A and B are shown apart, each in its own frame.
Chain A
Amino acid sequence: MSDALTEEKRSQGFWAWLTGLANPTRFMALTDAIMPFIASITVLALAAGLYMAFTAPEDYQQGETVLIMFIHVPAAWLAMMCYSVMSLSALGTLVWRHPLADVSLRAAAPIGAAFTLLALVTGSLWGKPMWGTWWVWDARLTSVLVLLIIYLGIITLGRALEEPTQAAKALAVTTLIGFVNIPIIKFSVDWWNTLHQPASVSRFDRPAMDAAFLYPLLIMALAYMLMFFTLHLMNMRNEILRRRIRTLKIRAAEAG
Chain B
Amino acid sequence: MFGEYAGYIIPSYLLTILVIGSVFVWIRLVYRSRRKELEALEAGGLKRRSAVRQEANTRDS
A72-B23 in contact given A129-B5, A244-B38 (Cβ < 8 Å): no
The size of the chain B interface, using a CB distance under 8 A, is 32
CB neighbours of A121 from chain B (8 A)? 12, 15
Docked complex: A160-213 residues within 8 A CB-CB of B: none
B38→A122 contact, CB < 8 A: no
Interface of B is mostly: helix
Does A12 make an interface contact (CB < 8 A)? no
A229 to chain B, nearest CB (A): 13
A114-B8 in contact given A64-B2, A67-B2, A71-B13 (Cβ < 8 Å): no
Contact of A238 among B15, B19, B22, B30 (CB under 8 A): B30
A235→B16 contact, CB < 8 A: no
CB-CB nearest in chain B for A233: B27
A64→B5 contact, CB < 8 A: yes
A242→B34 contact, CB < 8 A: yes
CB neighbours of B37 from chain A (8 A)? 245
A51 to chain B, nearest CB (A): 14
With a 10 A CB-CB cut-off, give which of B13, B22, B47, B50 has the most chain A CB atoms: B13
CB neighbours of A234 from chain B (8 A)? 27-28, 31
CB neighbours of B4 from chain A (8 A)? 63
Docked complex: A116-142 residues within 8 A CB-CB of B: 117-118, 121-122, 125-126, 128-129
Give bound CA distance, A72 to B12, whole Å. Answer: 9
Does A75 make an interface contact (CB < 8 A)? yes
A122→B20 contact, CB < 8 A: no
A-B Cβ contacts below 8 A, count: 87
A114-B9 in contact given A235-B27, A245-B38 (Cβ < 8 Å): no
A110→B15 contact, CB < 8 A: no
With a 10 A CB-CB cut-off, give which of B4, B24, B27, B35 has the most chain A CB atoms: B27
Does A48 make an interface contact (CB < 8 A)? no
B18 to chain A, nearest CB (A): 10
Does A9 make an interface contact (CB < 8 A)? no
B34 to chain A, nearest CB (A): 4
Contact of A71 among B16, B44, B48 (CB under 8 A): B16
The interface stretch among A90-98, A146-154, A246-254 is A246-254
Give bound CA distance, A196 to B41, whole Å. Answer: 53
A63 to chain B, nearest CB (A): 6
Give bound CA distance, A244 to B23, whole Å. Answer: 22
Does A34 make an interface contact (CB < 8 A)? no
B9→A117 contact, CB < 8 A: no
- B contact set with A: CB distance below 8 Å: 2-5, 8-9, 11-13, 15-16, 19-20, 22-24, 27-28, 30-31, 34-35, 37-38, 41-42, 44, 46-48, 50, 54
